[in-house]
Amino acid sequence: MSNSSHASRWRGRRAGLLALAATIGMVLTACSGGGPAPSDSGGEVGEPQRGGEITVLLDAGYSGGWATGLDPATSNGTGANLPQNAAIFGGLFTLEADDDGSNARIEPNQAESYEWQDDGLKLVVTLREGIEFSDGTPFNAEAVLWNWIRELSSGSTGAPVLDLNTSLEPPELSQEFMDSLWAALPADVDRDAVMGRLGAIRVVDDLTIEMNFNSVNGAFVNGLPTANLNLIASPTAYAELGADQFKVTPIGAGPFVVELNRQSERLELVRNENYFKDGRPYLDALNFQSVAGDQVMYQTLLSGQGDVVEGLSAVTLINEARNNPQVEVHPGAPTSPYVVQLYTRKEPFDDIRARQAIYHATDFAAIQEGLFGGEGDLSQSFTASGGLFYTPEIEGYPEYDLDKAKALVEELGGLEVELGTTDIVTARSVTTALQTQWEKAGIDVTIDSKPLGDVITKFTSGDWESMLQTAGAWDPAAGIGVQVRFGSTSPFSGTPLPEGATSTADAIAKGLRSPLDELLVQAVATVDEAERKAAYTEVAEVIAKEAYGPFGVAFSPAQVVRKGVHGPGLTTPIPALAVNTGVLYDRVWVEQ
């Protein structure tokens, strides 16, 4: 099958829609999902105007932190830092939607088209002609190859796990290219693995690149906007700047270029005069400011020190903003429910009774009513109403039953649990509510709220017991999808290792899979959506049967903007591929 964009260049001043690039890129945070309420936009919006600048306020505990830098190959915040990445790099593909958020679909952006060949085992991507990086060097297939190999080989948690056909003999590549590539990879990189990837990923011609798989991956293209593979950087700029500086001032082919970067504090961007879309971006400058939490973000917006709050999640503030004539509130489209992940590889959750006790002690309906004012979706799986394959009720799901929870805790002789989460306001509120509920069942709960980077460290070290996160995306296999949260070899999963494996690395090296892993593979081993939905329903049933983690409210953070700011993902809804709605910043404009 193929998918092409028929316009060779964008002209005029029409607004469109984008949804993020996040990544598997491990965004660990608060909330996403829930049916969008009517926005506060009033009346017709005129034609986009060129000029001006805006400051976007980002939560310091999530997207406002970029401690590992902005190099897509080495950043561990690819998914969380979607706003910055979209502005600097643009992306090969974007998630587009109609103005009401419906008809969501993946469309080529810097790519011209894509096509599956060889019964779904080969993906051929054709690039748009004439694109240059902001440093004036060519954006071509060789540059994409250089980036894809780096992004798969440098240890970033934003890299997808791919079943590539690494048995193919690598083609002849110039010594200059290979020298540049080796210089950009970690000193201890597995060179055999790199050569295998160079066999699977090949330049066909100057504007065409192909990727060869061992098995069909029906979700790969849907997931590209969330992965670091979507973000293409200038190889020349990397060589000139060096690894450390490139994390600070990366060079891409997106609508803006970095002028100032104070890590995890403030990022100032200016228009890329070399941008490939005629007349874009509309803004002269775009700033991202890191702010500590919803309350401070909202007050900063009202004080005139900001123009946009990306992802306001506190319901009380959202309601307050709806009644404030200075600003507009635009809810996002729902995709990702909360989930309490349980680490099954050690006590206490290696015992299914402890896991079942958590399910029966958890009343997400009460949390939905008490914390979210009844808004949002309740889901028993990793899907929500704004995404694909929505299935709100799952057969065999252990529902709230306090008496059963108490009985299980008594049978266990007590239960002590550490509950972790990302340190942002809504997540803290939910964990506090869960603590209250669980203690009624006799469960002793300690809450551990940490910044995103520290949460990632806890996950990757295995030093956790339970973790409130979100699971799912527009496509369940994309972003922080079900594979990330429940696949046995994911660094962000607590499900059992495959039989015979001593660690995730051992399982990967031996090619071992758990029964749940096999189902997850089946769910992407076809491009037929009916078959994929049936497979994901079975995945959800296994998660429920084994009590790997109760699902809850899918509530969508809101975009709050001052009057006069417009743009896709800000003032028109699009589904979130990860946690927050993505914004296509080359189409954002401000009334002059």
Helix axes 141-153, 191-200, angle to 10 degrees: 140
> ∠ CA 12-18-20 to the nearest 5 degrees?
145
Q: Is 299 helix (H, G, I), strand (E, B) or coil?
A: helix
Which phi and psi angles does 244 have, rounded to 5°? -65, -45
pLDDT of 43 reads: 55
CATH of 266-333+557-590, one of 3.50.50.60, 3.40.50.150, 3.30.413.10, 3.40.190.10: 3.40.190.10
* Closest of 243, 275, 242, 271 to residue 257, by C-alpha: 271
Dihedral sign, CA of 475, 477, 481, 482? Answer: positive
Contact between 5 and 107 (Cβ < 8 Å): yes
Quickly list DSSP for 388-446: TT-----TT-----HHHHHHHHHHHT-EEEEEEEESSHHHHHHHHHHHHHHHHTTEEEE
**Residue boundaries of the structural domains of the chain:** 69-254, 266-333+557-590, 337-554
Tell me the pTM.
0.78
What stretch of H or E contains 212? strand 208-212
DSSP for residue 36: P
Residue 214 CA to residue 120 CA, distance in Å, equals 10
Contact between 265 and 144 (Cβ < 8 Å): no
Residue 384 CA to residue 555 CA, distance in Å, equals 9
Identify the bridge partners of residue 561 per DSSP, sorted by sequence position. 308, 328
Contact between 494 and 345 (Cβ < 8 Å): yes
What stretch of H or E contains 121? none
Residue 443 CA to residue 357 CA, distance in Å, equals 9
Residue 129 CA to residue 110 CA, distance in Å, equals 9
> Within 13 Å and on the Cβ side, how many CA atoms surround 32?
33
- Using alpha carbons, list the distances in angstroms from residue 244 to 240, 402, 569: 11, 53, 32
Identify the bridge partners of residue 118 per DSSP, sorted by sequence position. none
Amino acid at 353: R
Identify the bridge partners of residue 437 per DSSP, sorted by sequence position. none
Amino acid at 265: E
Residue 255 CA to residue 134 CA, distance in Å, equals 9
What CATH superfamily classification does 69-254 receive? Periplasmic binding protein-like II (3.40.190.10)
**Model confidence over 367-383: pLDDT tens digits?**
999 998 888 889 999 99
Which stretches in the chain have pLDDT values below 50? 1-38
CATH architecture of 337-554: Roll (3.10)
Longest CA–CA span in the chain (Å) reads: 69
Cβ atoms < 10 Å from Cβ of 205: 10
pLDDT of 23 reads: 31
Residue 221 CA to residue 484 CA, distance in Å, equals 17
Residue 241 CA to residue 145 CA, distance in Å, equals 20
E-strand stretches of 336-384: 338-342, 377-378
Contact between 498 and 514 (Cβ < 8 Å): yes
**Model confidence over 277-303: pLDDT tens digits?**
999 999 999 999 999 999 999 999 999
pLDDT of 579 reads: 66
Contact between 579 and 335 (Cβ < 8 Å): no
Quick one: tokens of 192? Answer: 């055999």
The two domains 69-254 and 266-333+557-590 share their CATH topology (first three levels equal): yes
Dihedral sign, CA of 244, 21, 114, 587? Answer: negative
E-strand stretches of 322-391: 327-331, 338-342, 377-378
- Residues in the chain, how many? 592
pLDDT of 157 reads: 84
Cβ atoms < 10 Å from Cβ of 161: 12
